[in-house]
């Protein structure tokens, strides 16, 4: 379980250098999301360290970076405002327990139910969200009033962002010995510091957000403490809804990010193990004063693009971040925001599925609609809700299409019996089309319906079979059902005696019906 190197072609150098690069990009994100949640910056930084370290060690996706995220921060804002940070910690603990249970009961496999158009919408929407979040760095705060940059400071900011992006783009053509993002961060930081360019740095950002001119990122190790909340039913009623949403949002974002990295690296992560890893990390966060978190697609892409593949890259990122908190805060406070914005802009360019724009006119209209819907919903509202909406819409479209697939081939045999050879799925969506196939008033006295190439999937299918038998009986016709499964025969209330049983040829499949429970 604790093998740090999961592939034979891992590179310790790449993993360590990539982890250092990621650790630098984690700081402003963790600070920003802490402010979104309404808690001190250290709660975000501690979450980035704890979640990043634990998921890298015990999670199911080597190379994936986890930490404090905006998706989870926005969920708990109302809880912090109404009840305080201690209730947030209690909610994070409970969310961790829920995520661990999801992994134990193997619910991670349900990520396979997310259709590809939803994945595309998720990736594109998240890329847009990351891009829009970086635009906040182009604002300056004076006397508590925030305004867009202009003049010299804007020109310096844009030029340093462009230089960062150029280094990341062109350096790999000459050498891949050192991750390009790390070189870009060091080079741009040196230029800004030695030139005295009027570009805000990390500590400027922290001060502007907190309003405290004495703010610093320096701190000690996180300490263990039990959340100071009453241990009673009222507390559970308060935190339980938030905990379920936190757990769901965290797992959805983590498992979808895992699927994206699986595709890029052509490897396969372990969804259920990742659920347990994320849950364990959040459980620890709640007891060590951290706001909790989940997988981060932006930092994960930085890691993968920088050559990080094994667990060592995530461990390095977490430990380097802890070092910055304990001893190197002054170094990281000097990093210009322009360098970090440039790195994240390159992440946006690499994350967005540009090919999906060309696909819009080539894929079915329903798939194109789902891609646009999920992307837009992710940007406007919430990631987890966007994925859920996308899955629901995709399921409805699928059911609608499958409902049209049921049909029958008919012929009259030598005995004068009309045989309907049914093809396709019979379920709630196709029940009406199923009824329209048959003509009891026009059919001969003896009718046979063959289900060998059809399947009854749910209770609506069973009701449709029973109702069809009644129609034929009212018309004084004799009806026979062939090749129904054993479960179908058990569930039929009115037409059970019309089924011809052939133990050799009858199919064996399950029907989704609560009557069998």
Domain around 354: 12-359
Among the three residues 325, 359, 393, which one is the final residue of a domain in this structure?
A: 359
**Sign of the CA dihedral running 379, 385, 387, 391:** negative
pLDDT of res. 9: 54
Residue 354 and residue 439 in one domain: no
DSSP-derived secondary structure letter, 501: P
Cβ–Cβ < 8 Å for 307, 18:
yes
Residue 190 and residue 70 in one domain: yes
Residue 284 lies in a domain: yes
Residue 42 and residue 189 in one domain: yes
Residue 62 lies in a domain: yes
Give the pairing of strands 66-67 and 294-295.
Answer: antiparallel
Residue 168 and residue 310 in one domain: yes
Residue 130's Cβ-side half-sphere holds a number of Cα atoms within 13 Å equal to 29
Residue 54 and residue 111 in one domain: yes
- Tell how far CA 507 is from the center of its chain: 38
pLDDT of res. 409: 95
Residue 349 and residue 498 in one domain: no
Residue 512 lies in a domain: yes
pLDDT of res. 115: 86
Q: What are the tens digits of pLDDT across the range 184-223?
A: 888 999 999 999 999 998 888 888 777 778 788 888 899 9
Residue 369 lies in a domain: no
In angstroms, the CA 508 to CA 485 distance is 5
pLDDT of res. 245: 85
Residue 281 lies in a domain: yes
**Could you tell me the two tokens for 474?**
């009212």
Residue 61 lies in a domain: yes
Residue 316 and residue 432 in one domain: no
Among the three residues 359, 383, 413, which one is the final residue of a domain in this structure?
A: 359
Residue 140 and residue 266 in one domain: yes
In angstroms, the CA 177 to CA 170 distance is 13
Residue 106 and residue 38 in one domain: yes
Domain count, the chain: 2
CATH number at residue 483: 3.30.750.24
Residue 346 and residue 420 in one domain: no
pTM value surpassing 0.85? no
Distances (CA, A) of 173 to 168, 179, 186, 309: 10, 12, 19, 20
Among the three residues 327, 359, 391, which one is the final residue of a domain in this structure?
A: 359
Residue 57's Cβ-side half-sphere holds a number of Cα atoms within 13 Å equal to 14
Residue 418 lies in a domain: yes
Residue 351 and residue 441 in one domain: no
Residue 313 and residue 422 in one domain: no
Distances (CA, A) of 166 to 138, 157, 162: 19, 14, 6
pLDDT in single tens digits along all 517 residues of the chain: 444 444 445 688 999 999 998 998 888 778 778 877 888 888 999 999 999 999 999 999 999 999 998 778 878 888 998 999 999 999 999 999 999 999 999 988 777 778 889 888 888 887 888 788 888 889 887 766 778 999 999 999 999 999 999 998 998 888 877 778 888 888 999 999 999 999 998 888 888 777 778 788 888 899 999 999 999 999 999 999 999 989 988 998 899 899 889 988 888 889 999 999 999 999 999 999 999 999 998 889 989 988 898 999 999 999 999 998 898 888 878 889 898 888 888 878 887 888 888 888 888 889 999 999 999 998 888 777 888 899 899 999 999 998 999 999 999 999 899 999 999 999 999 999 999 999 999 999 999 999 999 999 999 999 999 999 999 999 999 999 999 988 898 888 888 888 888 877 888 888 887 665 5
Residue 60 lies in a domain: yes
């Amino acid at each position: 379980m604790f093998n740090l190197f999961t592939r034979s072609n891992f590179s310790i150098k790449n993993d360590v250098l990539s982890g250092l690069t990621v650790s630098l990009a984690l700081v402003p994100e963790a600070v920003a999301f802490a402010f979104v949640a309404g808690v001190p910056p250290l709660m975000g930084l501690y979450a980035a360290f704890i979640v990043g370290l634990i998921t890298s060690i015990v999670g199911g996706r080597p190379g994936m970076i986890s930490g404090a995220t905006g998706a989870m921060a926005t969920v708990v804002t109302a809880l912090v405002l109404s009840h305080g940070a201690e209730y947030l910690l209690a909610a994070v603990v409970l969310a961790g327990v829920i995520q661990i249970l999801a992994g134990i009961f193997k619910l991670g496999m349900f990520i396979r139910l997310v259709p590809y158009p939803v994945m595309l919408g998720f990736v594109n929407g998240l890329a847009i969200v990351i891009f829009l979040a970086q635009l906040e760095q182009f604002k300056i705060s004076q006397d508590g009033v925030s305004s867009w940059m202009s003049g010299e400071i804007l020109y310096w900011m844009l030029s340093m962002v462009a230089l960062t992006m150029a280094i990341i783009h062109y350096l790999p053509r000459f050498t891949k010995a050192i991750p390009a993002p790390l070189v870009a961060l060091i080079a741009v930081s040196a230029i800004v510091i030695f030139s005295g360019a009027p570009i805000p740095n990390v500590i400027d950002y922290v001060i502007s957000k907190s309003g405290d001119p004495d703010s610093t990122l320096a701190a000690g190790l996180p300490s263990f403490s039990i959340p100071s909340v009453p241990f009673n039913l009222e507390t559970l009623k308060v935190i339980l809804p938030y905990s379920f949403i936190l757990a769901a949002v965290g797992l959805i974002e983590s498992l979808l990010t895992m699927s994206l990295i699986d595709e890029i690296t052509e490897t396969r992560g372990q969804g259920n193990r990742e659920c347990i890893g994320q849950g364990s990390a959040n459980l620890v966060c709640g007891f060590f004063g951290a706001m909790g978190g989940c997988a981060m697609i932006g930092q994960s892409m930085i890691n993968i693009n920088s050559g990080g593949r094994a667990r060592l890259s995530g461990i390095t990122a977490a430990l380097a971040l802890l070092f910055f908190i304990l001893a190197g805060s002054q170094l990281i406070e000097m990093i210009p925001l322009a360098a970090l914005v440039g790195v994240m802009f390159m992440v946006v360019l690499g994350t967005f599925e540009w090919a999906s724009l060309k696909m819009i006119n080539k894929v079915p209209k329903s798939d194109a609609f789902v891609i646009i819907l999920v992307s837009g919903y992710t940007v406007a509202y919430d990631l987890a809700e966007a994925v859920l909406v996308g899955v629901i819409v995709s399921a409805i479209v699928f059911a609608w299409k499958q409902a049209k697939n049921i049909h029958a081939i008919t012929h009259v045999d030598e005995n004068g019996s009309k045989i309907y050879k049914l093809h396709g799925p019979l379920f709630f969506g196709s029940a009406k089309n199923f009824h329209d196939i048959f003509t009891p008033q026009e059919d001969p006295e003896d009718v046979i319906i063959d289900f060998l190439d059809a399947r009854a999937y749910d209770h609506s299918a069973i009701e449709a079979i029973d109702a069809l038998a009644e129609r034929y009986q009212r018309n004084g016709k004799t009806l026979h059902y062939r090749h129904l499964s054993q479960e179908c025969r058990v569930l039929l209330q009115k037409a059970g005696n019309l089924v011809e049983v052939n133990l050799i040829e009858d199919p064996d499949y399950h029907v989704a019906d609560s009557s069998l429970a």
